[in-house]
Structure 1
Amino acid sequence: MKEVIDTVGRRKTSVARAFLTPGKGTVTVNKRPVEEYFKDEFKRQQALRPLTLCEKAEEFDVKINVQGGGLSGQSGAVSLAIARALTESDEALRAVLRTERLLTRDPRMVERKKFGRKKARKRFQFSKR
């Protein structure tokens, strides 16, 4: 196994780079502890789901740089980056992560606003008279 595993995960407009190193299980996001960065319990669990699912939370130190988007997109990007790093460290984990759909990049993006409309699909209010 390589000393440092470097992977990228994306979700919406967020991009996360994860660096997996053998260690004691510390997770830092943008040089802050994960508990401080993802204050919402659900977003934190979503981001760390690959580690808890594979029971590798105590074996690796994870350093994550994430930018763009909001916290929801960032937690999804972090999750994908960690899942990809875990499969790179141990190919046997691929089946477990694949069944939980943690290795699939979510293709949903915000639809662009069209001209002549209020938003992407919403129309301006129609007045008959």
Structure 2
Amino acid sequence: MPRKKIEKISKEVTEKSTKVVKKAEKHSYYFGVGRRKSAVARVKLHLDGDKSFKINNRDIAQYFPGELAKTKYLEPFKATSNLNRFTVEAKIIGSGLNGQLGALVHALGRALDKLDTEKYHLLLRRKGFLTRDPRTRERRKVGTGGKARRQKQSPKR
């Protein structure tokens, strides 16, 4: 084989074999969508701002009162050592308070994963913040008397 052809082929091979690692670009915010039951949470993590935490334009302490809820929604930040680093803006629709809280935690985990995937992905995955909880309301079946699992009463005799 001519020398020029060998050089050309080797050049093509080295160009193709280099692995491209995508880094997250610097954005004004990082976005994440989380779901739980029928609730959907859309979260924006802003790097700049007053470090507040708003849900549907209300303060989070007002939206989710109580210490149990507070420990749950701060868990993704504590796991990644990002407490009080972001201004968080969230829109949550559907379900009840527990479903909405689960959707918020899921969305926060996904947004933090986008911030630095190499650093946080495995940690967030092990803690369960990236896993969608598949449990949803069971549909009502025909002939069950209005409930999902209720059976019609059998005759006594």
TM-score by length of 2: 0.76
Structural mapping, 1:1-129, within 5 Å: 1-23=26-48, 25-91=51-117, 92-118=119-145, 119-129=147-157
Residue 8 of structure 2 corresponds to none
SS of equivalent to 2:112:
helix
Partner Cα distance (1:72, 1:44) in 2: 12
Q: 1:14 touches 1:70 (CA, 8 Å); kept in 2?
A: yes
SS of equivalent to 1:108:
coil
> Where has structure 1 moved over 3 Å in runs of 4 or more?
none
Partner Cα distance (1:85, 1:47) in 2: 13
Partner Cα distance (2:53, 2:122) in 1: 24
Partner Cα distance (2:95, 2:70) in 1: 16
Q: 1:44 touches 1:75 (CA, 8 Å); kept in 2?
A: no
Unaligned runs of at least 5 residues, structure 1: none
Q: From the CA coordinates, give the structure whose radius of gyration is larger.
A: 2
For 1:62, the aligned partner's letter is V
Count of paired positions:
129
Q: Comparing both structures, which one devotes a greater share of its residues to helix? A: 2
SS of equivalent to 1:116:
coil
1:57 Cα deviation from its structure 2 partner: 1.8
Partner Cα distance (1:61, 1:52) in 2: 15
Partner Cα distance (1:69, 1:40) in 2: 19
CA deviation string 1:49-89 (max 9, x = no partner): 21122121211111000011100110011001111110101
CA deviation string 1:94-129 (max 9, x = no partner): 111111111011111101011111311121333313
Q: Comparing both structures, which one devotes a greater share of its residues to strand? A: 1
